[in-house]
A and B are shown apart, each in its own frame.
Chain A
């Protein structure tokens, strides 16, 4: 069983490397962004696999946090690409 999880982990990390290649190459910013978002998912899976391997429940909150962060990060990046800034000022100012 451990071999199975290890193989899974290696696969996940390899795909992360592949995604990093996309982040590096681009060619456009949205390409990089999508790659980063996917890296976040890969991180979640690798941490899940690691906690199985380490036999510990303590990393479950890390998984949840990455999910939230990755979402917030992607949304703010998208907004940045679309509007040029993340937090817009109120319409009255």
Chain B
């Protein structure tokens, strides 16, 4: 009851804040909410309430309640556009661990706002779509929406965090919620495999990124990204700089499915389609893009950064588009296409970083193109995924070989798919055309760049980019035409296909219309959203978003390179599409064993096997072996340290003279030890052990320690008696199957331990750093303690605590012996009863 009250209060307060009761003025004099950082947690709070709604309100699809959250957030965040348009930003902070400088900081500038709007906007559409896609009765909607809202909070946190530590926190939260969503149908093997694989790869990258963040915080002595950016010129010369750069890029590349880490994304297609559309095309996979964009002001000046980001991006672009034509599953085609488009955006971001080194306008253009394409990709890819989901939903299959001829049956879906595909292929009048053309022009410009050996290798960039674009065109046609045109095998489909319900089509239709609208008004979008974002990526280059002198137009005239490249793409791409059956066997050249997925599987299997083998190799279960390790390690390290530190010293002057009795007794001791070691029967060994004990007692006499001698004698007698007590139950002394080799090893180890102890004893005796304290005891034993026996006074007076706990040890040993005997007896009794 209290819990529900708490939830209710949380909701009320957050709405209260949402409505703007707490306001303050930021530096531009605009009213903004005091703690809008709390809004990040709005989906999280809703995630707590969703199970109640799911359980108690049966009549209404839970998605309708959930839909409120992204809609409200989207509307709210839209109000930031006027602020960022002027180059302003808003900050709101809740301190979390102030002593460590860790805080939830919500920092909204152009870049954060762009991503925030994508997350909330596409989030609303995806929730709307999922209401019709996810069945109210068959699916466990409660957990679905909890995971989805959890993801939304995580993603908002990633893009708004100014604190690297909380950024990492939200980053991992996206990995976890993505894991949960991919494994949503957890009874399927493939879902669990895909979830685990994505978890492994993204969490690996996340941990690398954490390492990079920690290095950055050591370098700049702050967790705040803004403060790090302010220090960027000094950070470049820091020795950790390149390492931090590579670690952070690893995080970005794994999350954004870049080569060779893209392999988790196709397997993540086992998730429900709304999840694929939302996480694995529009938002989560762009977290890596966001990271690269966000850290460009810090790392962008380095040539490693430019080469890695551009190179890996282009490689991914080519690889993804080439392999997309191989796929037969609709969602797999889209997954590879996502991989390839993310590579495109990544390579543009890398090229955009060049603008730190040259004033050529083309490279500022690249960043603009990257962000523009990011928006475009989110619109058309989201729509395409939803269409793939509709086809799956209405026909029962996603296999492109079984589909065909759906155009007349599903005209609306076909229209949306066609718009999305042509935009993906880069044709007018769709938004993909604009960004693709800007992309090609930036890549062409790359070869003229003179630093970092771009003039020698630069020519490769436009070529790879162009070839990849040809393949992009081919798979776009492949995706839409193979599904909707051609011979319909409608009768063989698992379900009787028909057009999707109108509710399911709303979201894709909205996205498809955005695709066209953006084509016609690119500059409005540019002014409102893209320019502020470019400004955030390259803050040092511009004073305000208005300074960015870019005007996107669909028509550059006949002398434009992009135009002719696009024409060539269309011609060659169409030829390639028509001849697919002829060249598709090319894919079989690559042996299955050499693919990256096989590599991942082999790595997983291999590390498991290797670890098993390793632990089995040294965990033999024999105490003998473990003792061997311990003694060998001990003697080797101690002897090595003695000699490395040159600590072995023998000072003959400190030795006392050898007495006759001492020598004789030593002979007896050595003889008895010899008996113990070489005895053939156990009884003889026990007797010889008694001999050892008694001669030790005799040593105590010789060295004038009567109390020790007394105790030693009694204890020796008792322990020999105990040996004899146990004797009856012991097996005959055997060799434990020891081989000669074992014996030699044992001999070496025991000799080295003996040598080690002797060396330590000799050198510690020879080097006394401080005088003994015993003179104090001698002086005060009678006056302070009132005793005559110095040993006993030390035991019970000066250092009585030791005695207390040795008494405790004896008591515990006694109780333990009793316990062991009793336990054994009672167990025997119970087994007897069982019989």
Q: Within B104-159, which residues are at the interface with A (CB < 8 Å)?
A: none
- CB <8 Å contact, B710 and A62: yes
Chain A, 22-63, contact with B by CB distance < 8 Å: what is the 0/1 string?
011010010010001001100100110010001010110110
Among candidates B661, B684, B691, residue contacting A39 with C-beta atoms closer than 8 Å = B691
Minimum CB–CB distance from A6 to chain B (whole Å) comes to: 7
Q: Which residues of A contact B60 (CB under 8 A)?
A: none
Among candidates B660, B665, B713, residue contacting A69 with C-beta atoms closer than 8 Å = B713
- CB <8 Å contact, B728 and A84: yes
- CB <8 Å contact, B713 and A65: yes
Q: Within A64-84, which residues are at the interface with B (CB < 8 Å)?
A: 65-66, 69, 72-73, 76-77, 80, 84
Minimum CB–CB distance from B713 to chain A (whole Å) comes to: 5
A20-B691, A36-B687, A73-B721 are known contacts. Are A47 and B710 too (CB-CB below 8 A)?
no
Q: Taking CB as reference atom, which chain A residue is nearest B700?
A: A62
Q: Which residues of B contact A76 (CB under 8 A)?
A: 721, 724
Q: Which residues of A contact B690 (CB under 8 A)?
A: 36, 73
In the complex, B725 has a CB within 8 A of chain A: yes
A87 to B728, CA, bound (A): 12
Among candidates A23, A32, A62, residue contacting B709 with C-beta atoms closer than 8 Å = A62
Q: Which residues of A contact B714 (CB under 8 A)?
A: 65, 69
Q: Which residues of B contact A29 (CB under 8 A)?
A: 683
Chain B, 677-717, contact with A by CB distance < 8 Å: what is the 0/1 string?
00000011001101100100110011010100110011001
A32 to B710, CA, bound (A): 24
- CB <8 Å contact, B710 and A65: yes
A46-B698, A86-B725 are known contacts. Are A62 and B706 too (CB-CB below 8 A)?
yes
Q: Taking CB as reference atom, which chain B residue is nearest A36?
A: B687
Minimum CB–CB distance from A27 to chain B (whole Å) comes to: 11
Using C-beta atoms within 8 Å of the partner chain, give the interface range for chain B: 20 to 34
Chain B, 652-673, contact with A by CB distance < 8 Å: what is the 0/1 string?
0000000011001101100110
- CB <8 Å contact, B724 and A77: yes
Using C-beta atoms within 8 Å of the partner chain, give the interface range for chain A: 35 or more
A10 to B660, CA, bound (A): 8
A6 to B662, CA, bound (A): 12
Among candidates A9, A59, A72, residue contacting B706 with C-beta atoms closer than 8 Å = A59
A77 to B717, CA, bound (A): 11
A23-B691, A46-B698 are known contacts. Are A13 and B665 too (CB-CB below 8 A)?
yes
A65 to B707, CA, bound (A): 12
- CB <8 Å contact, B687 and A50: no
Q: Which residues of A contact B554 (CB under 8 A)?
A: none
Which of A23, A29, A32, A87 has the largest number of chain B CB atoms within 10 A? Answer: A23
Among candidates A6, A26, A65, A87, residue contacting B660 with C-beta atoms closer than 8 Å = A6
Minimum CB–CB distance from B187 to chain A (whole Å) comes to: 60
- CB <8 Å contact, B664 and A13: yes
A9 to B701, CA, bound (A): 14
Q: Which residues of A contact B694 (CB under 8 A)?
A: 39-40, 43
Among candidates B661, B683, B691, residue contacting A9 with C-beta atoms closer than 8 Å = B661
Q: Taking CB as reference atom, which chain B residue is nearest A9?
A: B661
- CB <8 Å contact, B724 and A86: yes
In the complex, B196 has a CB within 8 A of chain A: no
- CB <8 Å contact, B706 and A58: yes
Q: Taking CB as reference atom, which chain B residue is nearest A66?
A: B713
- CB <8 Å contact, B691 and A72: no
A87 to B725, CA, bound (A): 8
Minimum CB–CB distance from A61 to chain B (whole Å) comes to: 6
19 more A-B contacts (CB under 8 A) besides A9-B660, A16-B668, A47-B701?
A10-B660, A10-B664, A20-B668, A23-B691, A26-B684, A32-B687, A39-B694, A46-B698, A47-B698, A59-B709, A62-B701, A65-B710, A69-B713, A69-B714, A73-B717, A73-B721, A84-B728, A85-B725, A86-B724
